[in-house]
Structures are given as C-alpha cells and as structure tokens.
Amino acid sequence: MDYARKTPKVLLVSQSILRILEIALTLAAICLTFTAKQTVELLGIEISAKYSYSPAFRYFVSTNIVVVVLSIIALLFLFIYANSTTPYRCFTIFVCDFLATVLGVSGCAAAASIGYVGRYGNEHSGWSPICDYVDKFCKRIQISLICSGLGLILLVILTFWSAIRITTLATVSR
C-alpha cells in the first residue's frame, strides 16, 4: 500500500471538521425554521405566521433533515473507509454528499422562493408582502436560509472533494 492511496491524517481531520460544521449549520437552519412563528393583530384580526403553514417551508425542513442524516452517514463512512484503497468504497461517501447537495439545494430554493414572495409580494398574482407585518418570522426564516446556504457551500466543496478522492484512487490503482 503506497502513500498516494492512503488518506493523509490532515485531510481526514479537515474533511471531518467541514462535515461537522455543515451538519451544525443545517441543524441550526432546522431549529430556526421550527421555531419561526409570530402572531400579530392587524385591524382587529389576528394573523399568525408559522413555518408549517407553507408547504415550501415544510419541504425545506424535511430536506434539511435528510441532508443531516446523509451527512452523518458520510461522516461515519469517512472514518470507516479512511484508509480504503478502492474507489468503490469511497463512492459511497460521494453518493451521500451528492444526494445531500441536490436535496439541500432543492429545499433551499423552495423556501427562498416563497420567502421572496413573503418579503416582496407578487403584484401580478395579487399577493401582498407579509414581512412588513410579521418581521420576526421573516427574519428567522431569512437567517435559516443563510445557515442552510452556508451549509450547502460546504456540501458542494465536500462533494468535489469526494469526487477527487475517487478519481485519485482510480488513477493510482491502474
């Protein structure tokens, strides 16, 4: 077994740190979205805003939960296959990273699109902006989207990293 095929310890540690940071950011996004709710009174009418009232926000939370699970699985495989010399074993980590990235992007895009409508409205559809009235709710969702977006940036980096590892192992094994 030559050095080129082994994962150097510094790469293993740095990849682990990125994965843990990504999991923490995604968990923060989930918690912020779960706790996003506000009730205000407007012209004598009580208006409530909760994440569960929007299918897009429910989808956002669901995809983020799946992203966390896939990221934990990838982290476990990272330690299990740390010194693996076969590209097929490292492929599992890549698949977890890739699926997490795709799901995370779709959930974040869904939540961001409905968040945009909540912030700015849509005159053509007759939808008024609501963030002027439920600003606490909107700010919490916005911070949640930022956390999720930062986690997605780390996931993209990790996905490329996994792909490079597979390519390196495949090239060395020839």
Enumerate the domain spans of the chain: 7-39+52-172
Q: Give residue 85's identity as a one-letter amino acid code.
A: T
At residue 42, the pLDDT reads 82
pLDDT at 147: 97
CATH code for residues 7-39+52-172: 1.20.120
- Give the model confidence (pLDDT) of 148-174 as tens digits: 999 999 999 999 988 888 887 767 655
Residue 85 — very low, low, confident or very high, per pLDDT cuts 50/70/90?
low
User: Strand 37-42 vs strand 45-50: parallel, antiparallel, or unpaired?
Assistant: antiparallel
Cβ–Cβ under 8 Å, residues 148 and 65: no
The answer on pLDDT for 2 being more than 60 is: no
- Predicted structure pTM score: 0.87
pLDDT band of 83, cuts 50, 70, 90:
confident
Give the three-state DSSP class for 26. Answer: helix
Query: What does residue 123 show for φ and ψ, rounded to 5 degrees?
Result: -60, -35
Where is 166: in which H helix or E strand? helix 135-172
Question: pLDDT over 90 for what percent of the chain?
Answer: 53
- How many CA atoms lie less than 13 Å away from 63 in the CB half-sphere? 24
Instruction: Find the largest Cα–Cα distance for the chain.
Output: 75
pLDDT at position 1? 43
